Amino acid sequence: MYDILIKNGQILNGTGSPAIRAEVAVKDGKIAKIARHIPDDAKTVIDAAGKVVTPGFIDSHSHADSTVKEHPEQIEKVEQGITTSVAGQCGGSVCGADAAEFLDAYRGSKLGANMAMLIGHGTLRRAVIGTANREPTPEELEKMKAMMRSAMEHGALGVSFGFIYAPGCFAKTPEAIEIAKVVGEYHGIAAIHLRSEAAQLVRSVQEFITIVRESGVRGVISHHKAAGREENWGKVHTTLRMIDQANAEGLELFADVYPYNAASTGFSSAFIPTEWRDGGKESVLKNANDPEMVAQIKEAYYAKYQDMSWLMAVRCPGCEEFNGMMVPEIAEKLGVDEFEAAMEITRRTGDRALGVFFSICEEDVETVMAHPRVMICTDSGVKTRPGYHPRLRGSFPRTLGRYVRERKVTSLPEMIRKMTAMPAAVYGFKNKGLLWEGFDADICIFDPDKIIDRATFVDPDQRAEGLDYVIVGGKIAAVNAVATGELGGTMLYRDV
């Protein structure tokens, strides 16, 4: 008797080939049988008529490690079809010097979705030389390399660089090459948050290609985009060509992307530069209430930008009527100019409003997403807090609904490959990413005509629609995008 039998569905097996009609039987956490017809002998029978059955989605870029201790159930992952996530990204991981201890402690642990770890270079650097802006001494570099080696020996997949954040940004290219060489000895992964995703984007990709070439790692460019404003948009055509050339040269270089054209963080950070905010909210508010300072900040802003049409206010405590409004709309409502409107929101909310920056061009999102070496990611953890970026809940259903069904960026079988078999191969998950007999029973069942994200910048907690079942390790982890609480996942380790 099987544990689960999935009948009448169309199978997309993850390879990118077209759907076939077949039935899938699951037993003891594995895919026991795939055939045209399997007799009805199972504890649970799922009728998948009109649905597609695919491997579980793999989140190529996750920050779920930071809260895995408090939130092992991984609700926001499984409720959007993610059965495995690659965490420890952007140069910051929950473990560094203690990676061996952390990884050993999670062996055999029960999680709602599987997780694998990269080790943050910034985390290692902080452990050895703190936040100092200088190069490491030879001894310090050896120490960092030894920590990296220990993490690899205990099953880490590789390293993540966060070259835009302190202290990772203080590292020069040769330091990164030295760390990546250790990872390369294990044929591991180096993922990178580039030094610049805006004006210096092309140069930053070039730097990473050098790191990959000199160290022998497989490289992943994280959440790839051309940020900033119009002057940077379209640069992804150049960077994707660079990725193609690197692969033609024999390097292994990939990227991932989240399906949104906006980032989100504190509202005032969009137009009040760092030099006016070094005392936090207090100095922001002091400056916002000083007409002389406002004039200076305004001048600095318009030296760089034309207008404020790309900025939305969300979560405005005390003046909720502005939630979800673009700055030009707020200006009209208040009868003041755009800059004064933005300042007024800052004052009225005590600088507690969140901002959404439409700083990415949607055409670029589509261009990146369609590239055969690009995987899909959330760039999110699992800790829900109000006002968070909707990608936390919506990334995978949005990719399938908005970008595959509505905008036809690529075919459904190809997008499923980019969400499953491809990341499984890149990160070395040997029994995942394919619907194949003997593989782990990580499975999604959804309606390709209905699947869509409902989370928005104003209401980021809305669950997806059209996602019927998510199965992790042979256990039903979510039904209609509501987690069941089953913990079918575990920590995954590099195959030694």
Closer CB to Zn ion, residue 90 or residue 176?
Answer: 90
Closer CB to Zn ion, residue 391 or residue 454?
Answer: 391
Shortest distance in whole angstroms from residue 271 CB to Zn ion? 22
Closer CB to Zn ion, residue 34 or residue 90?
Answer: 90
Closer CB to Zn ion, residue 63 or residue 432?
Answer: 63
Shortest distance in whole angstroms from residue 256 CB to Zn ion? 10
Q: Which residues neighbour 137 within 8 Å (Cβ) at sequence distance 6 or greater?
A: none
Closer CB to Zn ion, residue 90 or residue 297?
Answer: 90
Shortest distance in whole angstroms from residue 65 CB to Zn ion? 14
Closer CB to Zn ion, residue 90 or residue 255?
Answer: 90
Closer CB to Zn ion, residue 71 or residue 223?
Answer: 223
Shortest distance in whole angstroms from residue 10 CB to Zn ion? 35
Shortest distance in whole angstroms from residue 92 CB to Zn ion? 9
Which three-class secondary structure string do you get for the chain?
CEEEEEECCEECCCCCCCCEECEEEEECCEEEEEECCCCCCEEEEEECCCCEEEECEEECCECHHHHCCCCCCCHHHHCCCEEEEEECCCCCCCCCCCHHHHHHHCCCCCECCEEEEEEEHHHHHHHHHCCCCCCCCHHHHHHHHHHHHHHHHCCCCEEEEECCCCCHHHCCHHHHHHHHHHHHHCCCEEEEECCCCCCCHHHHHHHHHHHHHHHCCEEEECCCCCCCCCCCCCHHHHHHHHHHHHHHCCCCEEEEECCCCCEEEEHHHHCCCHHHCCCCHHHHHHHHCCHHHHHHHHHHHHHHCCCCCCEEEECCCCCHHHCCEEHHHHHHHHCCCHHHHHHHHHHHCCCCCEEEECCCCHHHHHHHHHCCCEEECCCECCCCCCCCCCHHHHHHHHHHHHHHHHCCCCCHHHHHHHHCHHHHHHHCCCCCCCCCCCCECCEEEECCCCCECCCCCCCCCCCCECEEEEEECCEEEEECCEECCCCCECEECCCC
Shortest distance in whole angstroms from residue 193 CB to Zn ion? 4
Shortest distance in whole angstroms from residue 164 CB to Zn ion? 7
338-348 and 327-334 helices, crossing angle to 10°: 90
Closer CB to Zn ion, residue 90 or residue 156?
Answer: 90
Closer CB to Zn ion, residue 90 or residue 205?
Answer: 90
Shortest distance in whole angstroms from residue 460 CB to Zn ion? 18
Shortest distance in whole angstroms from residue 452 CB to Zn ion? 26
Shortest distance in whole angstroms from residue 155 CB to Zn ion? 23
Say if CB 30 and CB 55 are below 8 A apart: no
Question: What does the block give as tokens for 96?
Answer: 């560094």
Closer CB to Zn ion, residue 141 or residue 157?
Answer: 157
Rule CB under 5 A: which residues touch Zn ion? Answer: 90, 193
Q: How many angstroms from the chain centroid is the CA of residue 292?
A: 41
Shortest distance in whole angstroms from residue 222 CB to Zn ion? 5
Closer CB to Zn ion, residue 90 or residue 220?
Answer: 90
Say if CB 466 and CB 451 are below 8 A apart: yes
